[in-house]
Amino acid sequence: MSNDKCSSVGIIGAGIQGVCIGLQLLKKNIPTTIFDHNDPGTMASYGNAGHFSPYAVLQLNRPDVLYDVPKMLFSSSGPLALKWNYIPKMLPWIFHYLKNCNKKSMMHTAKYMHQILNHSMDAYEEIFQEIDTTNLVEQRGIIYVWTNKNLKSRNLEIKVRNELGIKQKILTVKEILDLEPNIKPVFTGGCFYDYAYHARDPKGILKKIFDLYIQKGGKFLKENVKSLKQSKINETSIETEKKIYKFEKSVVACGAFSKQLTDQLGENIPLDTERGYHVHFKGMENLIKRPIIFLDRGFGLTPMNQGLRAVGTVELGGLKNPPSKKRIEYIVNCSKELLPQLKNHEDEWLGFRPTLPDFLPVIGPSKNSKNIIYAFGHHHLGWTLGAITGKIVAGLLNNEKTNLDLSGYNSSRFN
């Protein structure tokens, strides 16, 4: 570690990344203030499926997925949908995405995802020792099921995970039904990660981490950040609707909303959003014991304290379009296909996964302002990666050396 200890940090965003970064900074005795115009854990970090998925190294930038995309987009009842009015704005993202849908990029993403996913649960374990997770976190494994429809893709996933030494157990239909007797066997096989944890209440967990941050002396300001800049060699300025605050260093951890700030810093990072939805079937959470994901349908069920949470689909449509009723119907129909006993749903919710077109997050210094660190773009895995991102980013802010190769997450990859 270098001798120059950081004197103060401002973090923009109180999602799981921002709160975990804040906690790690306080452990290093660095005075920290988190800004958010919402209460902590209101956006994607609230409504996700709650899976801790350290095995999920393969993302959607794959040649096999690319082949299926056009037919999925033109079907209104598939796992992928488009808001057509948003296409012109999304062209840069689509352009970069297409460039990354090849085997080399797929494996590059898998390698760099694996590196941080591999440390993700150790980083959470450390935090879980300091907070009471009773009724909030369970370790009952996570099941994936599939039909014969996309077996080539399933085989590719199994092969890559084997190559990377990731533990996985392939299951027959009977073995799946032994674990989850209430689901209808509308699938032909599956995979079990028996060591995986899930959240029964992501917001409840985040709130506990946030409370620990406050107990350790962290500050929180419920203010909307309008702009951010490096004002002097060792000073950054965060301007909210109320006032301008100065810190030695600042962090952008605004999830899918980070682009408005990075654009101001003169970097054209092609961050966009994959919209996802959830609904709750209240009182039905005991129908299954653990999360089940139906891969061909792009949706899953998680037993949570709020009810059985049905989560999923990817909709490309930006941050401003209204929610789509059709997407909700799709999730509800998929849920009833697996569990025909389900009836009424509540709490329709739309959330924004922050996604870069190569499906790697941006973790590291801004290209033009070295005292500003980025921590966003964790796409489908931002819940899993919160604690490890906290450790990495706090280390960077404290000028610590790391054994991790962080080059794959640098924003300069888009220049």
Ligand X SMILES: Cc1cc2nc3c(=O)[nH]c(=O)nc-3n(C[C@H](O)[C@H](O)[C@H](O)COP(=O)(O)OP(=O)(O)OC[C@H]3O[C@@H](n4cnc5c(N)ncnc54)[C@H](O)[C@@H]3O)c2cc1C
Residues at the contact surface with ligand X, assessed by CB under 6 A: 12-18, 35-38, 42-45, 47-51, 53, 224-225, 253-257, 276, 278, 311, 351, 353-354, 376, 378-384
Shortest spacing between CB 2 and ligand X, in angstroms: 28
Position 256: which residue type?
A: A
Query: Residue number with the shortest CB distance to ligand X?
Result: 382
Shortest spacing between CB 46 and ligand X, in angstroms: 7
For residues 141 and 175, which CB has a smaller minimum distance to ligand X in the complex? Answer: 141
Nearest-CA neighbor of 106 among 52, 53, 157?
Answer: 157
For residues 42 and 102, which CB has a smaller minimum distance to ligand X in the complex? Answer: 42
Shortest spacing between CB 18 and ligand X, in angstroms: 6
For residues 188 and 289, which CB has a smaller minimum distance to ligand X in the complex? Answer: 289
Position 287: which residue type?
A: L
Is 402 buried (19+), middle (13-18) or exposed (0-12) by CB count in 10 A?
Answer: exposed
Shortest spacing between CB 13 and ligand X, in angstroms: 3
The Cα 367–Cα 10 span in angstroms is 18
* C-alpha to C-alpha distances, 240 to 19, 29, 32, 237, nearest whole angstrom: 19, 25, 16, 10
Q: Where are the beta strands (DSSP E) in 17-75?
A: 32-35, 51-52
Shortest spacing between CB 334 and ligand X, in angstroms: 13
Position 224: which residue type?
A: N
For residues 126 and 223, which CB has a smaller minimum distance to ligand X in the complex? Answer: 223
The Cα 13–Cα 381 span in angstroms is 17
User: Helices 202-215 and 16-27: crossing angle, nearest 10°?
Assistant: 30
The Cα 149–Cα 168 span in angstroms is 21
Shortest spacing between CB 375 and ligand X, in angstroms: 7
For residues 4 and 263, which CB has a smaller minimum distance to ligand X in the complex? Answer: 263
For residues 361 and 365, which CB has a smaller minimum distance to ligand X in the complex? Answer: 361
